[in-house]
Structure 1
Amino acid sequence: MDDKIEVTVGKIGRAHGINGDVWIDVRTDEPGRRFVRGGRLLLGATGREIELASVRWNKGRLVVSFVGYPDRTAVEALTGTLLHVRVPAAERPSEPDEYFDRQLVGLAVLDHRGDRVGAVTEVLHLPAQDVLQIDVDGEERLVPFVSALVPVVDLEAGHVRLADVVGLLEDEA
């Protein structure tokens, strides 16, 4: 039996035009894997399935239409709804050395000696790079998620290991 988990892949934005197209606020690193014509997504808390009738990019933003929502009026009722998909819990990203947020959140954080210093609480996707938010004794610390600072990610062992960089988890004061 393959365990599946539900992950959020997008949020329905405002209508685009009069033919039932909507903008999608993409919440996945792999939109080409999640948003395909004929693909099925789950609507918000209801979990009701909805089928993608069309998928296209417009000026760097995703625009889709749904089967059964033929016009602007019909699709406007969905504005603000989160879109989810059920995926195998063991699914990995397409590229090596990439991780889904859900795989990193909750991992123990070890210092360069292997001592536990905290836990990953969130992955922030900032313009320059991704950043791990780490809880260190109840205080938030941010560490850029780059191999020079986080050289080891061991999902099987349940931890990330930080590089030997002075002040990496220290408070500025």
Structure 2
Amino acid sequence: MTDRILVARIGAPHGVKGEVRLFPFTQDPMAVLDYQPLTDKAGRRSFRIVSLRPGKDHFVARLAGIDDRTAAEALTQTELYVARDRLPPAEDEDTFYHADLIGLPITDPDGAPLGTVVALHDFGAGDILEFAPAAGGKTLMVPFTKAAVPVVDVAGRRVVVDPAFVPAGTAEDGAPEAEA
């Protein structure tokens, strides 16, 4: 488990007065205000959100000390983290922090190894679980749904993926299958 959790990412500048687009990853997007100050990935730079409001497909934030577009541009793609102990505990066994899944082994329902969790993504149509195949090769992605991923057991350190959802055209070794 990691001691710091990613809670937001700074996007492109919004306007010319130093505001930025902000993409919160908290269940309630406004809750990102509750965990301040936030830090960059290295933990060296601290950020305080002075104001936050909804935008079209993002939030617009004003950060303390960022007063013009040039300063805002320098922060584009900066990830914002909070110390894990400042976040509330998971409410039940079906609730967890995405960071807790990274590195967990993945098996099929019979226990055969499939790989290791690399990342979780949200490209807008729902969460996607990315994993590195056990035998190597390119990473694979499956929908992060109860049907495709019926078991997520953080305490037991395991994730089960239904092989029916593993992308077609991948061999057991994770390499593309040759066509006849």
Whether TM exceeds 0.5 here: the answer is yes
2: CA distance, partners of 1:127 / 1:15: 21
Asked whether the equivalents of residues 5 and 89 of structure 1 are also in contact (C-alpha less than 8 Å), the reply is no
Secondary structure of the 2:31 match is helix
The separation in 1 between residues aligned to 2:68 and 2:124, in whole angstroms, is 33
Corresponding pairs, count: 167
Q: Which residue of 2 aligns with 1:9?
A: 7
Partner of 1:48: 45
Match of 1:156 in 2: 155
Q: Which amino acid aligns with 1:65?
A: R
Aligned runs of 1:11-26 on 2, under 5 Å? 11-24=9-22, 26=23
Query: Aligned residue for 1:57?
Result: 54
Using the TM superposition, name which of 132-141 and 40-49 deviates more.
Answer: 40-49
Contact 2:19–2:72, Cα closer than 8 Å, also in 1: no
> Is the contact between residue 17 and residue 69 of structure 2 (CA under 8 Å) also seen in structure 1?
no
**What TM-score do the two structures reach when normalised by structure 1?**
0.74
Asked if the contact 1:8/1:27 (under 8 Å) is kept, the reply is no
Using the TM superposition, give the Cα deviation of residue 7 of structure 1 relative to its aligned residue in structure 2, in angstroms: 2.8
Cα deviation, 1:88-109, whole Å, max 9, x if unaligned, reads 2985556873433211121111
Alignment correspondent of 1:136? 134
**Match in the other structure for 2:123:** 126
More strand by share: 1
User: What runs of 5+ residues in structure 2 fail to find an aligned partner?
Assistant: 172-176
- Structure 1 residues 136, 4: CA separation in 2 closer, same or farther (over 3 Å shift)? closer
Contact kept in structure 1, 2:26 and 2:32, CA below 8 Å: no
Aligned partner letter, 1:116: P
RMSD across aligned positions (CA): 3.3
- 5+ residue gaps, structure 1: none
